[in-house]
Structure 1
């Protein structure tokens, strides 16, 4: 189930990135960063599930950083 969420979040982020590259309009870039952050969170949860806690903690910290960046991009 987590793999499906990871695939969906990655696909949405890639679609936002491709849209920005094709049109030159980067107003959706914070959304792209947000979905990349969600993907990192899901990957972190998968690492915790596989008992690799150090990678899990690192990925959750990256999620928090990307969440901060995406919220900062809205304002």
Structure 2
């Protein structure tokens, strides 16, 4: 799980840096999608450690919200083109 989190973090960092440097925010839904994946993996890792506290469930809730926002971003970009 740690390797997956690191790979996803590198992807999000690269996409975010590209967007900040070029001021081209068309890739924002992809950033949100990968950020949601990071939050999902983090929440599941917390639940696997038998820490059934607030952080594991909150990670999954935040992940579902980010997936929802990402899907809306994909649909809005598709509609504009």
Question: Normalised by the size of structure 2, how large is the TM-score?
Answer: 0.87
* C-alpha distance in structure 1 between counterparts of 2:35 and 2:52, whole Å: 20
1:35-74 matched pairs, under 5 angstroms:
35-54=34-53, 55-74=55-74
Task: Determine the structure 1 residue equivalent to 2:26.
Answer: 27
Residue 5 of structure 1, CA deviation: 0.4
* C-alpha distance in structure 2 between counterparts of 1:29 and 1:9, whole Å: 15
| Structure 1: gaps spanning 5 or more residues | none
Residue 56 of structure 1, CA deviation: 1.1
Q: Which has the larger radius of gyration?
A: 2
Residue 29 of structure 1, CA deviation: 0.6
* C-alpha distance in structure 1 between counterparts of 2:52 and 2:30, whole Å: 28
| Structure 2: gaps spanning 5 or more residues | 76-81
Give the ranges of 4+ consecutive aligned residues of structure 1 lying more than 4 Å apart after TM superposition. Answer: none
Q: Aligned pairs, how many? A: 74
Task: Determine the structure 1 residue equivalent to 2:7.
Answer: 8
* C-alpha distance in structure 2 between counterparts of 1:19 and 1:30, whole Å: 14
